[in-house]
Amino acid sequence: MKKTGILNSEVASVVAGMGHMDWLSIGDAGMPVPMGTKKIDLCVDKELPSFMDVLKNVLKEMKVQKIYLADEIKDQNPEQLENIKKALPDVEIEFMPHADLKKNLAKTHAFIRTGEMTPYSNIILESGVTF
């Protein structure tokens, strides 16, 4: 049995299978997931688990070189934006309209659904390389 890091077997498997520049998305409970995109549903109740709890757990094992966020997070959820920046210092951020972010979920290896109930708490992580 695994002792540390990502204990959810589906999330661990997706992260382990990713290569440089592959995408993984994490989001709130309301984010629509395109048909054909693997959805790993961790939501058990409102705010359980939170977006930031899941993001921090994934970051224990995933090297991230760039992130994609919705433009709307700047005005609609600035506290979450600051939390993301603290968790990913020195990582490039690209903002796009929320509608485009939703479309881009189709390009991700998986979408991890959290219990988050705050607006625009969605992210696409672009994997980096560790060498």
* Residue of 21, 37, 39, 51 lying closest to 129 (CA atoms): 21
Instruction: Indicate which residue of 20, 46, 56, 107 is catalytic.
Output: 20
Give the SS3 label for residue 8: coil
Residue 120 is assigned to a ligand binding site: yes
Residue 98 is assigned to a ligand binding site: yes
Residue 100 is assigned to a ligand binding site: no
Q: Are 109 and 23 in contact (CB under 8 A)?
A: yes
Q: Are 103 and 37 in contact (CB under 8 A)?
A: no
20 in active site: yes
Q: Which two tokens stand for residue 14?
A: 């997706």
Report the distance separating Cα 24 and Cα 107, nearest Å.
Answer: 9
Give the SS3 label for residue 53: helix
Q: Which residues are annotated as a binding site for substrate?
A: 28, 98, 120-122
Q: Which residues are annotated as a binding site?
A: 28, 98, 120-122
Residues recognised as catalytic:
20
